[in-house]
Amino acid sequence: MSFRDVLNPKVSKANVAWHLDHMLKTINVICKSLEVSNPEEYKSNFSLTRAIIYTLGDFPRGVAKAPRVVRPPEVINTEDLHRQLQMAKENLQAIQSLDAKAHFEHPYFSVLNKNQSIRFLKIHTGHHLKIVRDIVKKITKEQTGK
């Protein structure tokens, strides 16, 4: 059974494919931003919001709105999800060798260096995978009665 189009409004307004597409777009956009950044231009900064989220290791659900560049299209193709997944694997491998001051400007957390960006990707990806698991779990329980 494919869960890509499963939707459970009690968990999220978006279906499983939306969360997967958004998560992969986020990984790929951030990796590419890190690659093209100029490490010499990085300036360390503090963000209270970032400090709280990084300490908690998760985001509250339904608070932030995804920036346009990482919002999924109306129609999400399974082939495109596979392509983005492969690209994400390659991009995550490629950023490992970048300078520690490679950076990315996050819309809520200010400028993130390479390690902060990797931490963000772990938290963000985990957040969306939890939502996907909760959507699937609720649907599975409803179908099986367990």
pLDDT at 63: 86
Give me the residue label for tokens 């994400």.
88
SS3 breakdown of the chain: % helix, strand, coil, rounded to 5? 60, 5, 35
- Nearest 5°: the CA angle 116, 125, 68 is 85
Domain 16-144 falls in which CATH fold?
Four Helix Bundle (Hemerythrin (Met), subunit A) (1.20.120)
Listed by start position, the domains of the chain span: 16-144
In this predicted structure, the answer to whether residue 23 has a pLDDT above a threshold of 90 is yes
In this predicted structure, the answer to whether residue 37 has a pLDDT above a threshold of 90 is yes
pLDDT digits (tens, 9 = 90+) for 80-113: 999 999 999 999 999 999 999 999 999 999 999 9
Q: How confident is the model at residue 138 (pLDDT cuts 50, 70, 90)?
A: low
Q: What SS3 state is found at 112? A: strand
pLDDT digits (tens, 9 = 90+) for 105-134: 999 999 999 999 999 999 999 999 999 999
